[in-house]
Amino acid sequence: MLNNYEVPYSLKEIFSSFFHSKGANPGFLSEKGFTYRVSSGRGAIYTILLDIKKSKGVGEIICPNYSCKAIPRAIMKAGFTPIFVDVNESISIDPVQLKKAINPLTKAIIFYHPWGFEHSKEVVKIAKKNEIILIEDSAQAIGKKIGNWGDYSFFSFRTSKIIQVGSGGAIISKKRIELPFKKHQKIISLFNFLDLIFRKFYNWPKPRAIIEFFIEKGDNRQMGGFEETLLSKGLISLDKNIKKREHNYNELRKAISNSHHFKNILFNRPISPLYFAFLTDNKERVLYLFKKKGVSATAYYSHVNSDNFDFNFFGKEKSAFFSRKIINIPLHDGLSEKELNTIKEIIKDIDNGIK
């Protein structure tokens, strides 16, 4: 099975990083601002929200109506109220609906770079004009082009992301975060170690989900030494890996462009493509055929936030459209040219076989 990601480290690197890791460095000053390494992407957004709560009090946080459920959950956990705003054709927050959602209770706006593609910069202008805190969600993207769009930015290094450490995250803030960070739990590093080894042989997401539910709670906790060691390794080859992902994306985009039943998404400029996402009117059938032919295919995201959480929302048409039609297939930097060509042939075969 060609999976949406693969663990990029050898068993030797995983064992060496676990048994010879040094203590983590939770915070330091980088060229983009104050940088903090934390235990997860969910922990990063939760920490940011706690910092806003400390200085501004509670209120409303605007976020996309089409995004990971972890975002509204973190907002609620921190004591805020999520307000959902529809997206546009590039899966950026709709600026017209965003302006309608802003009110005196608005404390911050969260936006993300969908599937590793640049979000519209209109959100930056709107936040600045209204003097609202802007949070840049870079969980699906990484690289030199991002990390300084907002007052805060955060990253995820969870298994399946562009840099994988099991679970881990980072925050970049324009000001120092004064909150105390909880000490890293060694049991989290142990489970991350076992999870990465397991996925070298069998790529099954259930163990990761179990770990997150019972142990990794997404709070303001430091990253562990094991995870930081792997992060350092991932950063070394980051630029090369992003170029390979861009190449793979362009090749698959060409394949989809010649299709009768698939459609490319009108993403903005690529930053660091995560998966190859496209649209189809035959989602369930296409998911089945890709998996049958040995290619991992997922419907990510297949939900609309305002349908899952009972809070105010401003538009859902585009969010619902994408949730009904989107499919993701692999484009990661570990794919060989032979594997990439295999995926292109499968796209052609499935397209020709759909009635």
CA distance 278 to 108: 30
pLDDT over 80 (residue 242): yes
State pLDDT tens for residues 160-170: 899 999 899 99
Tell me if the bond preceding 5 is cis, omega within 30° of 0.
no
CATH number at residue 247: 3.90.1150.10
CA distance 354 to 39: 44
Mean predicted confidence (pLDDT) in 233-257: 95
Asked which of 67-71, 82-86, 214-218, 307-311 is least confident by mean pLDDT, the reply is: 214-218
CATH number at residue 83: 3.40.640.10
Domain interval for residue 247: 238-353
Mean pLDDT of the chain: 92
State pLDDT tens for residues 109-118: 999 999 999 9
Asked which of 26-40, 216-230, 238-252 is least confident by mean pLDDT, the reply is: 26-40
State pLDDT tens for residues 80-102: 999 999 999 999 999 999 999 99
Amino acid residing at 5: Y
pLDDT over 60 (residue 25): no
In this structure, the answer to whether residues 204 and 254 fall within a common structural domain is no
Amino acid residing at 133: I
CA distance 145 to 240: 15
Instruction: Return the pLDDT at 243.
Output: 97
Alpha carbon distance, N-terminus to C-terminus of the chain: 25
CA distance 4 to 287: 13
In this structure, the answer to whether residues 192 and 263 fall within a common structural domain is no
Domains in the chain: how many in total? 2
State pLDDT tens for residues 264-283: 999 999 999 999 999 999 99
In this structure, the answer to whether residues 217 and 96 fall within a common structural domain is yes
In this structure, the answer to whether residues 133 and 265 fall within a common structural domain is no
Confidence band for 178, pLDDT divided at 50, 70 and 90: confident
Parallel, antiparallel or unpaired: strands 33-38 and 60-64: unpaired
Contact 184, 222 (CB under 8 A): yes
- Nearest 10 degrees: CA dihedral of 327, 73, 173, 65? 50
Question: Is 190 a member of any domain?
Answer: yes
Confidence band for 304, pLDDT divided at 50, 70 and 90: very high
Instruction: Return the pLDDT at 1.
Output: 80
In this structure, the answer to whether residues 191 and 317 fall within a common structural domain is no
Instruction: Return the pLDDT at 225.
Output: 92
In this structure, the answer to whether residues 119 and 184 fall within a common structural domain is yes
Q: Half-sphere exposure of residue 208, counting CA atoms within 13 Å on the CB side?
A: 19
Instruction: Return the pLDDT at 159.
Output: 85
Confidence band for 210, pLDDT divided at 50, 70 and 90: low
